[in-house]
A = this chain, B = another copy of it.
Amino acid sequence: MSASGLHVQCRDEPGVLHRLTGEIAEQQANVVTVETGAVHQGVANLYFELDGPDIHAVAQRLRELPYVVACSEPRPMESIFGSRLIVIGGGAQVAAVASGAVQEADRHNIRGERISVDTIPLVGEAEIAEAVRAVPRLPRARALVLAGSLMGGEIAEAVREVREQGIPVISLNQVGSVTQAVDLVVTDPLQAGVMAVMAIARTARFDLARVRGQSF
């Protein structure tokens, strides 16, 4: 069951999200996903994915509202940017992991999948732990790779928390306690990126559950 996309461009003013969600509920539709995008020249981009009997009717109703500038029905974000692999780390490793993951995602996407590789280069225990804890708040985030040489303490604790939320975590083989907290440890950064993409791909025969706790 896949929700329908709805892109609303509306005046950027207080309360508009509450009013729009009220109109959507009145049309018997349910908001599955929402993301706020760019605001340009007083016009905000709001993107919804909705479940409901008649999304065209919702779009038609929203177009009648005085604060709505435009309303279109793009395909869902899952069909465009797809599942997201999040890469967090610093220095030489983070670019190598991203490169491996992008090359592997390219090979899957060319066969019809949609996998994005989203990378934040970061150093510092507190900074990385904060970013790890923010991953479950990101739309469509499906797995996390930690690309560094020394991670432990608060980062290991954050890894345990996000795994409890259903996000698998892969780490490079590195100094520190984080390697004890993750699903999988991989030494080569290119391969860490490749394996992480395999773990979230539908077209790969790779089941993270079957190698959990192992090191490569």
* Residue positions of A touching B, CB distance < 8 A: 7, 14-15, 17-18, 21-22, 24-25, 30-38, 40-41, 45, 47, 74-75, 77, 80-82, 84, 90-91, 94-96, 98-99, 102-103, 105-106, 109-110, 114-123, 130-131, 133-134, 136-139, 141, 165-167
Q: List 19 A-B contacts (CB under 8 A).
A: A15-B25, A18-B24, A35-B36, A35-B137, A35-B138, A35-B139, A37-B139, A38-B136, A38-B141, A45-B137, A45-B165, A74-B130, A74-B133, A77-B134, A81-B134, A95-B106, A99-B99, A114-B120, A139-B139
A138 contacts which of B81, B165, B167 (Cβ < 8 Å)? B81
Q: Which residue of chain B is the closest to A117 with respect to CB atoms?
A: B119
Additional pairs, 17, CB under 8 Å, beyond known A17-B34, A110-B121? A14-B25, A17-B31, A37-B138, A38-B165, A45-B136, A45-B165, A80-B130, A81-B131, A81-B138, A84-B118, A95-B99, A95-B106, A98-B99, A102-B119, A117-B120, A118-B119, A119-B119
Q: Which residues of B contact A95 (CB under 8 A)?
A: 98-99, 102-103, 106
Instruction: Say yes or no: B98 contacts A102, CB within 8 Å.
Output: yes
Q: How far is the CB of A62 from chain B (nearest CB, A)?
A: 14
Instruction: Say yes or no: B109 contacts A120, CB within 8 Å.
Output: yes
A94 contacts which of B84, B102, B118, B120 (Cβ < 8 Å)? B102
Q: Which residues of B contact A36 (CB under 8 A)?
A: 32-35, 139
Q: Which residues of B contact A141 (CB under 8 A)?
A: 37-38
Q: Which residue of chain B is the closest to A29 with respect to CB atoms?
A: B14
Instruction: Say yes or no: B134 contacts A122, CB within 8 Å.
Output: no
Contact A106 B90, CB 8 Å, known A14-B30, A98-B119: yes
A30 to B15, CA, bound (A): 7
Q: How far is the CB of A106 from chain B (nearest CB, A)?
A: 4
Contact A120 B82, CB 8 Å, known A18-B25, A34-B36, A130-B74: yes
